[in-house]
Amino acid sequence: MNLFDDLPPEPDAAPTSLGPGALLLRGFVLNEAPELLQAVEAVLQQAPLRHMLTPGGYTMSVATSSCGPLGWVSDPRGYRYAAHDPLSGQAWPAMPALGLALAQQAAALAGYPQFAPDACLINQYQPGAKLSLHQDRDEQDLSAPIVSLSLGLPAVFLFGTPSRQDRPQRYRLAHGDVVVWGGLSRLAFHGVAPLTDGEHALLGRRRINLTFRQVRRRA
C-alpha cells in the first residue's frame, strides 16, 4: 500500500486549519521554488549538510544545516542555537532574502504579522529519513510561530497537540506547501513519517524543508 493511500483527498488551494493558530497553505511558494532552491544551494556551499548527533548519541536520519544569525545545533551536550557553524567555526550564511520574505508573508496570512525570524533550519530528507514526534521549544520566544516550507518529494506531516497523549493527524505536504503554527499550537507535537522513495523534477530523490524560527525575544 502506498503511504498516501489512506490519507483524505488533497484539499484545494484554500488554507487548511491544522488546529488553533496553525494553518497549511498549499502551493504558497510553488512559483518561487526554483529561485528559492538556487538560494538554498548557495547556502549549502558555505555550510554543508550534515547528520547531527542527538543528546542520546543517535545519528539523525535527516541531514541538517542552517542560515541566518543563529543556527540549530544538536550534539551529546544537547539541543541549542549557536551563532557559528561548529564544522567551520564561521558565522552561518545569511538567510536568503526571498525565503525570509516568503516566510513573513505566510506568517502574516496566518495571523502573525510581526514575525521576525533569526534562524532558518535546512533539513534534507532522502528515502527512509524521518523526524520523530517532538516539540520546538529551544527558542526563547515561544510567542512567535514556526514557519515551514516544503520543497521536493511529498511527505506525510504528523501534527498533534501540546499533549503527547493525543494522536497526531496526518497531512500530505507537497512541493511548495507551507505550514505555520503558533499561538495555542506553538508547542504541538509534530514530526515527519519516513519519506517514500520517488523522483522530483527539481530535487530528484530528495525533500528539502526550510523551517524559520524567531529564537530571541524582541526588544
131 beta partners: 192
- The whole-model pTM stands at 0.93
Domain assignment present for residue 9? The answer is: no
In the numeric block, the cell 530528495 is attached to 206
Domain assignment present for residue 20? The answer is: no
**Looking at the chain, which runs of residues are DSSP E strands?**
16-19, 22-25, 63-67, 71-75, 78-82, 119-125, 131-134, 146-152, 155-159, 169-173, 178-181, 190-192, 207-213
Task: Find the domain containing 147 and state its range.
Answer: 25-213
In the numeric block, the cell 488551494 is attached to 13
Q: Backbone phi, then psi, for 41, in 5-degree steps?
A: -60, -35
Domain assignment present for residue 91? The answer is: yes
Domain assignment present for residue 206? The answer is: yes
Domain assignment present for residue 12? The answer is: no
pLDDT digits (tens, 9 = 90+) for 43-55: 999 999 999 999 9
Burial of 113 (0-12, 13-18, 19+ CB in 10 A): exposed
CA 195 to chain centre: 14
How many structural domains compose the chain? 1
3-state secondary structure of 35: helix
Domain assignment present for residue 107? The answer is: yes
Q: What pLDDT, on the 0 to 100 scale, is given for residue 13?
A: 65
Using the predicted structure, report yes or no on whether residue 170 has a pLDDT greater than 90: yes
CATH of the domain at 139: 2.60.120.590
Domain assignment present for residue 62? The answer is: yes
Q: What pLDDT, on the 0 to 100 scale, is given for residue 217?
A: 86
Domain assignment present for residue 169? The answer is: yes
Per DSSP, helices labelled H in 33-176 are: 33-46, 97-109
User: pLDDT tier at 4 (50, 70, 90 boundaries)?
Assistant: very low
CA 8 to chain centre: 22
Q: What pLDDT, on the 0 to 100 scale, is given for residue 8?
A: 41
